[in-house]
Amino acid sequence: MRAAIIVFPGSNRDADVARALTRSGAEVVKVWHADTELPAGTDLAVLPGGFSYGDYLRCGAIAGRAAAMDAVRAHAARGGLVLGICNGFQILCESGLLPGVLMRNVDRRFICHRQSLRVERADTRFTSVYAKDQVIDVCVAHGEGNYFADPDTIARLEGDGRVAFRYSDAAGNLTVDANRNGSLNSIAGIYSEKLNVLGLMPHPENFVEDLVGGTDGRGLFESLAA
Partner 1 sequence: MKARPMKARIIVTLKTGVLDPQGKAIEAALTSFGLSGIDGVRQGKVFDVEIAGDDRAAAEAILKSACEKLLANTVVENYAIEIA
Is 193 a binding residue for partner 1 by CB under 8 A? The answer is no
Is 132 a binding residue for partner 1 by CB under 8 A? The answer is no
Q: Which is nearer to partner 1, 47 or 208 (CB)?
A: 47
Minimum Å gap between C-beta 108 and partner 1 is 5
Alpha-carbon distance values, 24 to 18, 138, 159, 196, 211 (Å):
10, 17, 32, 19, 17
The reply to whether 86 belongs to the active site is yes
Our measurement of the distance from residue 125's CA atom to the centroid of its chain's CA atoms, rounded to an integer in Å, reads 14
Q: Which is nearer to partner 1, 29 or 57 (CB)?
A: 57
* Of 57, 67, 74, 155, the one binding partner 1 by CB under 8 A: 57
* Of 58, 114, 125, 156, the one binding partner 1 by CB under 8 A: 58
Is 92 a binding residue for partner 1 by CB under 8 A? The answer is no
Longest dimension (CA), the chain: 45
Is 199 a binding residue for partner 1 by CB under 8 A? The answer is no
Is 176 a binding residue for partner 1 by CB under 8 A? The answer is no
- Given 59, 75, 203, 222, the catalytic residue: 203
* Of 32, 67, 107, 160, the one binding partner 1 by CB under 8 A: 107
How many chain residues touch partner 1 (CB under 8 A)? Answer: 21
Active site residues: 86, 203, 205
Q: Which residues bind partner 1 (CB under 8 A)?
A: 57-58, 61-62, 65, 93-94, 99-101, 103-108, 146, 148-150, 182
